[in-house]
Structure 1
Amino acid sequence: MISKNDFNKYIEQKQYDRIQQHKVTNAIILAAGKSKRFKPISDYCPKGLSIVKGEVLVERQIKQLQAVGVTDITLVVGYKKEMFFYLVDKYDVKIVINEQYDTQDNVSSLRLVLDQLDNTYICSVDNYYPENLFNTYEYRGFYSTIYVENNVDEWVVTTDESGMINDVNIGVPSGYIMLGFVYFDREFSENFRRVIQNVESVDEYNHHVWEYLYMKHLDTLKLGIKEFDKHSILEFDTIDDAINFDELFLRNNMNGKSD
């Protein structure tokens, strides 16, 4: 394992042959949910296919990944799954169907792609990145974070002296929150596969986001953090979030639709 300083030096000097073990191999985009807080748009259109600033939300993320050479992209879909199928021909992505999208949380989506986990970006369909934050190479596994104050219900992380996450708390007033894409390096992927398979019979995990399983196994599942500016990562949980960012959001997405 090379040092982070050496990694950055090789990137700067474009000596990519030295860091092939750090190359991102693929990406998984989680897009199966019903997005109940995104009504009325989600009544007829999955959130990931809504139009934000003139672009289809999931298409923007696909294009950003492809721009840095991450072309092996899989979408895990469920709700109104057929609406995503056009992306296979348009962007040469793969589709995996989660039939349990309405009874289990997104941990069930990751179970369907365990064999694909490697040096892998794990992305959420409801994130928007004004600038492309993806890279061709990443030094180690991480969760993207931004610093917030007056926090209410986001997941706040603390780290040890080496920058690895050692605790996660919900509702801490201020700190670095988990937001945006995650990078599983090969070691993390191997450990994650083992953990998720070991708890397959534990129904508790089926009804929480996958991060809940992660925070219960921090001793085994080691991720660092990667800090970003708060304006670098946007998340559209609700219709209001999207409207606040794009004043034409409703008009562009309700064209020909009734409330």
Structure 2
Amino acid sequence: MISRSEFNEYVNHKQYDYIEQYKVTNAIILAAGKSKRFKPISDYCPKGLSIVKGEVLVERQIKQLQAAGITDITLVVGYKKEMFFYLEDKYNVKIVVNEQYDTQDNVSSLRLVLDRLDNTYICSVDNYYPENLFNAYEYRGFYSTIYVENNTDEWIVTTDEYGYINDVTIGAPSGHIMLGFVYFDRQFSENFRQVILDVEGIDEYNHHVWEYLYMKHLDRLKLEIKEFDKTSILEFDTLDDAIYYDKDFLANNVKDSQG
């Protein structure tokens, strides 16, 4: 394995033949949930298909991935799944349907795409990136973070001497919170598949986000953090989040405008 500085040097000089094993293979966008905190918009339109500053939320993310050279994109859908199907033709993405979206959390979505995990970006449909943060090559698996103070209920991570996440605490007062996309490198994907198989039948994991499974197996699932400025990654967790960022959000997402 080359060092990180060597990797950066190859990237800077566009000497991609030397770093082919670090090339991002594909991306998976998780978009199956009902987004209950996005009512009343989500009653008739999935959050990922809402319009933010003139763009369909999931389309923006797809276009950013494609601009970075990542063309193998899988969208896992569930709630109002048919509304997403047009994306197959428009952007040549693959659609996987999670029929358990209403009874299990998003770990069930990842179970459906275990065979697609490689050097893979794992994205959430409710994230918004003012600037494109995706790359064609990544050195090592990571979880995107931003630093916050006066935290209340976000997931704070700490790292060990090697830079790997070694603890996750919910509601710590300040620190790096898990926010935005995740990168599974090839080794992480292999380990993640094995962990998923090992917990098969343990119902506890079906009712939490996949990060819950991850934090319970930090000894086997190694990710670094990749810190971004807090303005670089936005999350529209609630309707108020979207309205705060886009003053025209409600006007552009009334039912009539969705057809």
Q: Confirm or deny a common fold (TM above 0.5).
A: yes
Distance in 2 (alpha carbons) for counterparts of 1:178 and 1:85: 30
In the alignment, is residue 202 of structure 1 matched against residue 202 of structure 2?
yes
SS in structure 2 at match of 1:2: coil
CA positional deviation for 1:162 = 1.9
Match of 2:109 in 1: 109
Match of 1:21 in 2: 21
Match of 1:38 in 2: 38
- Identity percentage over the alignment? 83
Amino acid at match of 1:132: N
Amino acid at match of 1:150: N
Amino acid at match of 1:38: F
Distance in 2 (alpha carbons) for counterparts of 1:175 and 1:53: 30
CA positional deviation for 1:96 = 0.1
> 1:162-216 CA deviation, whole Å, 9 max, x = no partner?
2110000000010000000000000000000000111011000000000000000
Match of 1:145 in 2: 145
Distance in 1 (alpha carbons) for counterparts of 2:198 and 2:255: 47
Match of 1:4 in 2: 4
> 1:119-170 CA deviation, whole Å, 9 max, x = no partner?
0000000000000000000000000000001111100000012211000000
- Contact map agreement 2:75 2:96 (CA 8 A) in 1: yes
In the alignment, is residue 215 of structure 1 matched against residue 215 of structure 2?
yes
Gaps in structure 1 of 5+ consecutive residues? none
SS in structure 2 at match of 1:118: coil
> 1:21-49 CA deviation, whole Å, 9 max, x = no partner?
00000000000000000000000000000
Deviating 4+ runs (over 3 angstroms)? none
SS in structure 2 at match of 1:176: strand
In the alignment, is residue 181 of structure 1 matched against residue 191 of structure 2?
no
In the alignment, is residue 234 of structure 1 matched against residue 251 of structure 2?
no
Distance in 2 (alpha carbons) for counterparts of 1:238 and 1:96: 25
In the alignment, is residue 162 of structure 1 matched against residue 177 of structure 2?
no
Amino acid at match of 1:75: L
Distance in 2 (alpha carbons) for counterparts of 1:62 and 1:232: 17
Distance in 2 (alpha carbons) for counterparts of 1:146 and 1:75: 25
Query: Normalising by structure 1, what TM-score?
Result: 0.98
> 1:14-71 CA deviation, whole Å, 9 max, x = no partner?
1100000000000000000000000000000000000000000000000000001100
CA positional deviation for 1:82 = 0.0
User: How is 1:27-106 mapped onto 2 (pairs within 5 angstroms)?
Assistant: 27-106=27-106
Distance in 2 (alpha carbons) for counterparts of 1:2 and 1:71: 26
CA positional deviation for 1:93 = 0.1
Amino acid at match of 1:138: E
SS in structure 1 at match of 2:181: strand
CA positional deviation for 1:256 = 2.4
- Contact map agreement 2:44 2:255 (CA 8 A) in 1: no
Query: Normalising by structure 2, what TM-score?
Result: 0.98
Amino acid at match of 2:18: R
SS in structure 2 at match of 1:213: helix
Distance in 2 (alpha carbons) for counterparts of 1:198 and 1:161: 28
Gaps in structure 2 of 5+ consecutive residues? none
Distance in 2 (alpha carbons) for counterparts of 1:255 and 1:153: 32
SS in structure 2 at match of 1:256: helix
Aligned-residue CA RMSD (Å): 0.7
Distance in 2 (alpha carbons) for counterparts of 1:255 and 1:99: 25
Match of 2:131 in 1: 131
CA positional deviation for 1:255 = 4.9
